[in-house]
Amino acid sequence: MPVQSEISERLDLLRQEISAHAHRYYILDAPIISDGEYDRLFQELLTLEEQYPALVTPDSPSNRVGAPPLSAFDSVAHRVPMLSLENIFSEQNLQDFEERLLRYLKTTDHPDYMAEPKLDGLAVELIYEDGLLTVGSTRGDGKIGEEITANLKTIPTIPLRLNLPEPPVRLEVRGEVYISLQGFRRLNEQRTKDQQPLFANPRNAAAGSLRQLDSTITAGRPLDFFAYGISEAAELPCRTQAEILTYLGRAGFKMNPQTKNCRTLSEVASHFNHLSAIRPTLAHEIDGMVIKVNNLDLQQRLGAKARSPRWAVAWKFAATQVTTRLLSVTFGIGRTGAITPVAILEPVEVNGVTVSRATLHNEDEILRKDLRINDMVLVQRAGDVIPEVVKPIQELRTGEEQPITMPTTCPECGDSLERKEAEAALRCLNLHCPAQKMRLLAHFAGKAGLDIEGFGIRAVEQLYQEGLISAPHDLFLLRQEQLAVLPGWGEKSASKALNALHKCKQTTLTRLISALGIRHIGEVTAQLLEDRFLTLDRLMAASADELAEIEGIGPQAGRSLTEYFANQGYQEMIAQLQASGVTIRPSKPSGALLPLVGKVFLFTGTLTSLSRSEAKARVKELGGQVASGISRKVTHLICGEKPGSKVDQAHHLGLAILSEDDFKMIVKND
């Protein structure tokens, strides 16, 4: 019987060898032992670890076979939000992108770029602590994702330990999990044999495989991973995106060989053409090319808008277009009463997804495209996701085509429809229209609202039709015995649902405002409102002028808000929500610590070393606000070159007038 220390040594050796062979096989594509020899080493490791479970380490290759199943995924907050990218579609857009950068940075020096294939998979984040992979998560809503560590550990191209002599204390790696075209074909062949439903495309297959509670299922799927970035490079020896990629390659990640450092936009464009040309020969799907400002200091200065960074864009390949027949048009009704025509199409496959409906947006759109029922039409998936009807194929008309007529009454409640001047949508103005109420409820409970688990559109529809809910606060009055007896429910799902409702009762002002579904008020505007007013009472009491002063809130949004809060019906609805226990907690507990909270900046004249937008962004990052005109609320007037009359007015009001240098001192990043 060998002693424990010998076993331990043997295990160490096995792990090292297996990791090194796996790296040669999966990443370098240069194995030096046969598959059989590798399997024997692996088997020996598994057997020994089974005998001595206390000796299993978190970076052991045995993690690759999966772990015991979970009952649910935990949530993980991303320390740095995982943003998405703005899309561009042409060289002109590319030039506009650069012009915007130069304007923002106040420079005429053209930056250089990294151009990288845009893989069509799923973004994930991998956290390494002292070199060891500890947490892996999905992107989720960008702020909070799902913890899928055990699943990610099964992917052979994700290192369980970084191959760095002195790994950083913490490294957050980001990249794309995907399935190759060959892996996808094999997987579907297997599923055909097993009489299981097929995946529509590699992306869906990757998504389905990653979101398995049982990681041994994930382990059997041909998942792969390319790293493309890290969330924060301040502590690393990297000054550019190119250096980050090299660093990640050295750390043991598989890197995309088709990335290119481009000095000019024309180099960027030729790389795009190159990728389009080789696209059909690649082992995996790509849907475009990501272009990133290479220099990390510039990236930092450029920062991000609500959902996407200013320093990167995705240049998408032109969408695939196919033809099919427009069979009929139905009319849906949205939560704000807008009537939306929807094309019913003869089902057709576009890039692996079957399309049978597409929104036609509104009447003007139908007239502009001159669409008729029975037309053969060109269909594409915009940004490869949302299907749209591009145009009718006029040459194929037979004379059998029928014009599309818009309804004059609401398809749900029968009330007459109205179209306000300067608006594209026909609208049902009946606040009690059942379809609107239902949509509003679904919005309230859905992802863009309070995001109540288990209250998707189907559940909400069912509860509405059963007469259990008709206004948002009804949700919080639901009782176990009411839910448990519904078709498809039961004690367990009822108590789960009640739990989820209970959790969502405490929410943030931003979420609650988005959940109300006020026209023109989305999540981003809601956040601005929270930043400015902090409480619902103050927001509801805000005057039109106060709203107009907030940077980022236009006249339309302002009007919509004042109208909404002045409406007695909505006031009652909000009061009922509060009475049913909905409370608001601050979304940024550290808000009070931001140095510029309560300060209102106004800019005049030309700034020389940074652009107005960059200056405004800095103020907001630090918790301050930016005014667009002079008033007693302004606390700091920042004066650039050639200031206007605001300076005199500021003198009048006795305001502090500061220079650009003063400003830079105030917002300096310590």
User: Among residues 118, 254, 260, 316, which one is catalytic?
Assistant: 118
Residue among 105 and 291 whose Cβ is closer to ligand IVH? 291
Spatial separation of the C-alpha atoms in residues 283 and 384, rounded to whole Å: 19
Nearest approach in angstroms of CB 95 to ligand IVH is 21
Helix, strand or coil for residue 574? helix
Give me the residue whose beta carbon is nearest to ligand IVH: 123
Tell me the backbone φ, ψ of residue 299, rounded to 5 degrees: -55, -45
Nearest approach in angstroms of CB 305 to ligand IVH is 11
Q: How far is CA 417 from CA 116, 339, 412, 414, 439, in A?
A: 49, 9, 11, 9, 17
Helix, strand or coil for residue 429? coil
Residue 117: which of 291, 294, 299 has the closest Cα?
291
Spatial separation of the C-alpha atoms in residues 414 and 331, rounded to whole Å: 13
Nearest approach in angstroms of CB 118 to ligand IVH is 4
Q: Could you tell me the two tokens for 621?
A: 């990052």
Own/partner contacts of 162-165, CB < 8 Å, gap of 24 or more, are: 162/128, 162/131, 162/132, 162/251, 162/252, 163/23, 163/250, 163/251, 163/252, 164/131, 164/250, 164/251
> In terms of residues, how long is the chain?
670
Interacting residues with ligand IVH (CB under 6 A): 83-85, 116, 118-119, 123, 176, 228-229, 290, 309, 312, 314
Taking every pair of Cα atoms in the chain, the longest distance, rounded to a whole number of angstroms, is 92
Spatial separation of the C-alpha atoms in residues 178 and 226, rounded to whole Å: 8
Residue among 314 and 557 whose Cβ is closer to ligand IVH? 314
Residue among 314 and 526 whose Cβ is closer to ligand IVH? 314
Spatial separation of the C-alpha atoms in residues 534 and 527, rounded to whole Å: 10
Q: Could you tell me the two tokens for 8?
A: 């331990």
Nearest approach in angstroms of CB 275 to ligand IVH is 11
- Site of tokens 């109540």: 452
Residue 118 known to be catalytic? yes
Residue among 60 and 256 whose Cβ is closer to ligand IVH? 256
Residue among 79 and 186 whose Cβ is closer to ligand IVH? 79
Nearest approach in angstroms of CB 120 to ligand IVH is 7
Spatial separation of the C-alpha atoms in residues 44 and 53, rounded to whole Å: 14
Nearest approach in angstroms of CB 449 to ligand IVH is 23
Residue among 15 and 260 whose Cβ is closer to ligand IVH? 260
Q: Give strand pairing partners of 289.
A: 117, 315
Nearest approach in angstroms of CB 363 to ligand IVH is 32
Residue among 83 and 477 whose Cβ is closer to ligand IVH? 83
Active-site positions read: 118
